[in-house]
Structure 1
Amino acid sequence: MKTLLDVCKFLKAAGTYYLATVDGDKPRVRPFGTAHIYNGKLYIQTGKKKAVSHQIAANPNVEICAMADGDWLRIEGELVEDDDRAARVSMLDAYPELKALYDADDGNTQVFYFKNATATLSSFTKPQETLNF
């Protein structure tokens, strides 16, 4: 886990990862599947109408957990909304299957990038690796 591209590749290999947010004083975890590098940052996507969007707006500190091939990756950090249309288009182009549900101009599609984040790759058999970004 040397680069942000390695982090993104791991998330894509896992297919599904789990995003944890806070709803008031209660944890909330749900499956996600988008991971995209845009302008040198790691992005995820959701819809503004979803509860997760409101939870991120109230507290942008989140954590992701994914597992693939016996290794697991945790990413903790702050999500920042990028309201640039080009960022939404880039995400939807990377995940064309989402175009059946989202459009860059629908007022619902929302993309976030990680800031002040730490990715930690762990395994039962290999040394732990950490990347700050």
Structure 2
Amino acid sequence: MDEIVQYLTGIPAWYLATIDAADPTQPRVRPFSFAAQADGKLWFSTSRDKDVWRELEANAKFELSGWKPGECWIVVEGEAELADDEVCPDEVRQAGFEHMVGIGEHHDSPNDGRLAFFSVKNGTCRICDIDGSERKFQF
């Protein structure tokens, strides 16, 4: 898990794909940049008023990918555990709030009702190299 978080926080952005709630045949992709680890879980943050939150409510499955130039790329897939928003650890909530405000989001506090957190269940990660090799693990 440490390796996943270090990778994702070591690049400016990575891309999270969901399924469009209004058209389940259409994937949607957007940049993300906050990841954290706590209580043995991988955590992400977004806002409840964004399409991504509604899409994950309709279909919790997602995939993300990122690339660090000159190195390997990462692919993480799993299901968003949206219910974990209620039990998100304070340190993750604070870090997510600071990150979101730092990138220009407008939230009043770590407990702003629009700020949302989710963890990953049934997660798998592949760290892939251009030579075709990859390491795969579940979390």
- The answer to whether the 8 Å contact 1:18/1:29 transfers is yes
User: Which residues of 2 match residues 81-100 of structure 1 at below 5 A?
Assistant: 81=82, 82-84=84-86, 86-87=88-89, 89-95=90-96, 96-99=98-101
Name whichever structure is richer in strand by fraction: 1
What residue is the counterpart of 1:118 in the other structure?
Answer: 124
- The answer to whether the 8 Å contact 2:35/2:44 transfers is yes
SS at match of 1:98: helix
What residue is the counterpart of 1:101 in the other structure?
Answer: 106
SS at match of 1:84: helix
What residue is the counterpart of 1:36 in the other structure?
Answer: 36
What residue is the counterpart of 2:66 in the other structure?
Answer: 66
What residue is the counterpart of 1:75 in the other structure?
Answer: 76
Q: How many Å apart are 1:17 and its aligned residue?
A: 0.5
CA RMSD, aligned part only? 1.7
TM-score normalised by structure 1 residue count: 0.88
TM-score normalised by structure 2 residue count: 0.84
Write out the 4+ residue segments of structure 1 that deviate beyond 4 Å after TM superposition.
none
Q: CA-to-partner distance for each residue in 1:43-70, whole Å, 9 max, x for gaps?
A: 0000000010000000000000010133
Q: Runs of 5+ in structure 2 lacking a partner? A: none
Once the two structures are overlaid, the 10-residue window that deviates more, 93-102 or 110-119, is 93-102
Structure-1 separation of matches of 2:18 and 2:48: 15
Q: Runs of 5+ in structure 1 lacking a partner? A: none
Q: How many Å apart are 1:75 and its aligned residue?
A: 0.4
Paired residues, number: 129
